[in-house]
Amino acid sequence: MIPIARPLLGKEEIDAVTEVLSSGMIAQGPKVEEFELAFSEYTGCEYAAAVNSGTAALHIALLAHDIGKEDEVITSPFTFIATANSILYTGAKPVFADIEPDTYNIDPEKIKEKINPKTKAIMPVHLYGQSADMKAIMEIAEDHKLVVIEDACQAHGAECLGKKAGSFGTGAFSFYPTKNMTTSEGGIITTSDREIAEKSKMIRAHGSRVRYLHEMLGFNLRMTDIAAAIGLAQLEKLDGFNASRQKNAAMLSEGLKSISGIVPATTREGYTHVFHQYTIRAQNRDKLADFLKEKGIGTGVHYPIPIHKQPYYMELGYKDSLPVSEKAAEEVLSLPVHPALSRDDVLKVIKEVKEFYASA
Binding to ligand PLP (CB under 6 A): which residues in 172-191? 174, 176, 187
- Binder of ligand PLP out of 28, 43, 75, 79 (CB under 6 A): 79
Start-end of H helices in 295-342 = 311-315, 323-331
Is residue 248 a contact point for ligand PLP (CB under 6 A)? no
CB of 333 to ligand PLP, least distance (A): 17
Is residue 103 a contact point for ligand PLP (CB under 6 A)? no
String of contacts with ligand PLP for each residue 108-127, x by CB under 6 A = -----------------x--
Is residue 154 a contact point for ligand PLP (CB under 6 A)? yes
Is residue 151 a contact point for ligand PLP (CB under 6 A)? yes
- Binder of ligand PLP out of 35, 39, 47, 80 (CB under 6 A): 80
DSSP state of 319: -
CB of 185 to ligand PLP, least distance (A): 6
* Closer Cβ to ligand PLP, 187 or 218, answer by number: 187
* Closer Cβ to ligand PLP, 180 or 352, answer by number: 180
Stretch that binds ligand PLP, among 43-51, 130-138, 149-157, 246-254 (CB under 6 A): 149-157
CB of 153 to ligand PLP, least distance (A): 3
Q: Residues with Cβ < 8 Å from 88, sequence gap 6 or more? A: 94
Q: Which residue's CB atom is positioned nearest to ligand PLP?
A: 54
Answer for the pair 253, 265: CB distance below 8 angstroms, yes or no. yes
Stretch that binds ligand PLP, among 14-22, 147-155, 232-240, 325-333 (CB under 6 A): 147-155
Answer for the pair 346, 289: CB distance below 8 angstroms, yes or no. no
Q: What's the CA gap between 325 and 78, in Å, rounded?
A: 6
- Binder of ligand PLP out of 111, 153, 160, 235 (CB under 6 A): 153
- Binder of ligand PLP out of 28, 40, 55, 75 (CB under 6 A): 55
CB of 260 to ligand PLP, least distance (A): 31
Q: Which long-range contacts (CB under 8 A, 24 or more apart) does 5-14 make?
A: 5/177, 5/178, 5/300, 5/336, 5/338, 6/338, 6/340, 7/177, 7/178, 7/182, 8/237, 8/241, 8/339, 8/340, 9/182, 9/230, 10/233, 12/233, 12/236, 12/237, 13/229, 13/230, 13/233, 13/234
* Closer Cβ to ligand PLP, 339 or 353, answer by number: 339
Is residue 4 a contact point for ligand PLP (CB under 6 A)? no
Q: Give the three-class secondary structure for 246.
A: helix
Q: Provide the β-strand partners of residue 189.
A: 49, 172
Is residue 54 a contact point for ligand PLP (CB under 6 A)? yes
* Closer Cβ to ligand PLP, 174 or 244, answer by number: 174
* Closer Cβ to ligand PLP, 154 or 224, answer by number: 154
Q: Which long-range contacts (CB under 8 A, 24 or more apart) does 261-267 make?
A: 261/357, 261/360, 262/353, 262/357, 265/128, 266/102, 266/103, 267/130
Is residue 53 a contact point for ligand PLP (CB under 6 A)? yes
Stretch that binds ligand PLP, among 47-55, 107-115, 134-142, 193-201 (CB under 6 A): 47-55
Q: Residues with Cβ < 8 Å from 145, sequence gap 6 or more? A: none
158 φ, ψ (degrees, to nearest 5): -65, 150
Nearest to 140 by CA among 103, 160, 159, 114: 114
Q: Is the peptide bond before 303 cis (omega within 30 degrees of 0)?
A: yes
Binding residues for ligand PLP (CB under 6 A):
53-55, 79-80, 82-83, 125, 151, 153-154, 174, 176, 187
